[in-house]
Chain A
């Protein structure tokens, strides 16, 4: 098209269309813009140290490890930062983790396309029934907590919430920040006269599972109308955002908003989060130690690895300073790897997988990566239960004894 018009304009250069000179100018301008952007970004990243290489030292292993193979896992986005830190650090095998969401992690392990699946919610009875023989073991590998985040620019103090109030806000019973119930638990705080913008997860999520099961335990109306699950039937007039990071971003950029995310998203994005009243009556602001103590004090009766974990809860722990909305996150692994995956799955690979699982739950190895990333190290009772489960993983009926490589320390 343009070549045709150019030939007509060449006879009458004072009107219409581009001439050759200006088209060159355009290209020069475009090149100049690209060069400037690249230089700015380049110096910025260089200054930020992105091009500096880091090195990790691997200590000699304590026992004989089989040749390294490649392991793959998929699932939870909540636990992804920790999983990625583990796969970068772990040297005895190559571990790839795809952060695709808990639901996808469960479908992937059901379809046997990965070596392990990760989810923040335990398997529901229906999901458990869908898993082919020989079935999977549930291994809690880390822990976290869900915190209420909010954006109130005029409020400097940390807000206090109760389970009742959080449920009422998400049920749209409390619609304004200066509500009397909210004011009653926050004496001395000047709450703005502003409508609450309620933000929840738009995708199905383990975080929603944890938060909605907590609200079910705190509020009878919630329990009977919305219940709990990876997604619930949110009332109209609320805002949905995708992923923990989506909720964080929406709350951060929207004044008068409230949301709920895993604590590491609140801390790494420095967004305000409130304290929550625990069963002992104290308002507790979540941190690594009071979540860890909550999981210890909740002391849930852990079923065997192959059992039903759907009702395992570490919420509402009785301790005076325990944070009430704590949760375990899980990996799922087939109990007999040879039978599950068939002959192409070597015993060496099965051994690699068992070693990796034993390494991540080890208190002086994998678990030491938790705190730097704001995850909660497992309580010793949970680790012992995990080790029993891992010892129960077989290869065509043969027992696999885990050999934990010593990478840390």
Chain B
């Protein structure tokens, strides 16, 4: 030890003492940083709760289960927006998960080497595009296509499901879900790709040596191994979909009613806050809007915690093959 010491002039115990103090300060500083973030979360909840006090006191639980939001009559129920948030997020994931997984598998398993990086980087580039740009694209390009082609076709062939009742306008839950899907695809693809690329060669080679086909290798050797990473990507995508405001606001039709079908106009919690916050009907609507924000925070937390529980179970099931 002493021979290898690059600072022989300093006595060893002296260095230790100094480094101990440095470490203490370091621990304190990082501790403060971590505590600061926790304090921020607590402060956020406190401010939201404080702001929504009058609405919580007056409306009580009716806010959570009634379906009328009427600023003129001063009656507020969050259900239509909660349903809108959950509906658009889940439909968007139904669209984006298969597409993202397919793209990630292609980019890591099948694509020729020269194609992988440029395409991969383009997909990451898509994740960096501001959401308002997606919203604008949705309004200008996607809405007419949905209205004139896709929605009439869905009505014709899948009308029997009861999911496509009403006049197709193009500004509705379905279009909002498609825009959200386009926005979540880059996130889910990029993370799934990294996670699939991290699967050890030995896994695939073992499967190949047993005579497995490409599909069987992917299905039995690659996907189970990459599962936790893929789920993490989906949770991140879901987080983006739940909170997305401007892109949804532009294409969802902004109507405070429960959905009659996928092609009716609606709203989400974040869009109603964005719409009404600055020009609210009065302090009581403001309070109700803040309470809606609180509900959105709670929903996001519950979904995140749920996803963590699933992740933890998968990681246990994988028997210590941590990345």
Within 141-188 of B, Cβ neighbours of A (below 8 Å) are at 143-144, 147, 166-167, 169-171
CB contact under 8 A between A30 and B170, given known A204-B281, A238-B265:
no
- In chain A, positions 323-362 with a C-beta closer than 8 Å to chain B are none
Interface contact B70-A242, CB-CB below 8 Å: no
Q: Which residues of B contact A2 (CB under 8 A)?
A: 194, 197-198
A320: min CB distance to chain B, Å: 36
Which single residue of chain B is at the shortest CB-CB distance from A195? B167
CA distance A22 to B120 in the complex (A): 11
Q: Which residues of B contact A67 (CB under 8 A)?
A: none
Q: Are B198 and A234 in contact (CB under 8 A)?
A: no
Which A residues are in CB contact (< 8 Å) with B204?
16
Please measure, in the bound complex, the distance between the C-alpha atom of A349 and the C-alpha atom of B72, giving whole angstroms: 39
Interface residues on B, range: 35 or more
With A1-B197, A8-B200, A249-B139 already in contact, the answer to whether A22 and B113 are too (CB < 8 A) is yes
Q: Are A26 and B120 in contact (CB under 8 A)?
A: yes
B71 / chain A contacts, CB cutoff of 8 Å: 204, 231, 233
Residues of B within 8 A of A197 (CB): 169
Whether the pair A25, B118 counts as a contact (CB closer than 8 A) is: yes
Determine if A241 is an interface residue (Cβ-Cβ < 8 Å).
yes
Taking a contact as CB atoms closer than 8 A, the residue among A1, A19, A236, A253 that contacts B257 in the complex is: A236
- Selected from A5, A29, A227, A237, the residue in CB contact (under 8 A) with B265 is A237
Contact between chains at A205 and B279 (CB < 8 Å): yes
Q: Which residue on B lies nearest to A27, using beta carbons? A: B121
Q: Judging by beta carbons under 8 Å apart, are B139 and A236 in contact?
A: no
Known A8-B201, A230-B279, A239-B171; contact A254-B118, beta-carbon cutoff 8 A: no
Contact A229 B72 (CB under 8 A): yes
Q: Which residue of A lies closest to B116 (CB)?
A: A18
Cβ of A181 under 8 Å from chain B: no
Tell me whether B117 and A22 are in contact (CB under 8 A).
yes
> Does B140 touch A at the CB level, under 8 Å?
yes
Chain A residues in 8 Å Cβ range of B170: 254
Tell which of A46-54, A100-108, A384-392 binds the partner: A100-108
How distant is the Cα of A345 from the Cα of B246 in the complex, in angstroms?
38
Q: How far apart sit A29 and B171, CA to CA, in the bound complex (Å)?
A: 36
Partner of A29, one of B121, B194, B274, B275: B121
Residues of A within 8 A of B114 (CB): 22, 25
CA distance A30 to B126 in the complex (A): 12
Contact A26 B121 (CB under 8 A): yes
Set of chain A residues within 8 Å of B117, measured between Cβ atoms: 18, 22-23, 25-26
User: A1-B323, A22-B117 known; 6 other A-B pairs, CB under 8 Å?
Assistant: A25-B118, A26-B120, A102-B279, A195-B167, A239-B253, A239-B265
Closest 5 CB pairs of A and B: A240-B254, A204-B279, A103-B279, A26-B117, A202-B254
Residues of B within 8 A of A (CB): 70-73, 108, 113-114, 116-118, 120-121, 125, 139-140, 143-144, 147, 166-167, 169-171, 194-195, 197-198, 200-201, 204, 249-250, 253-255, 257, 264-265, 267, 271, 274-276, 278-282, 323
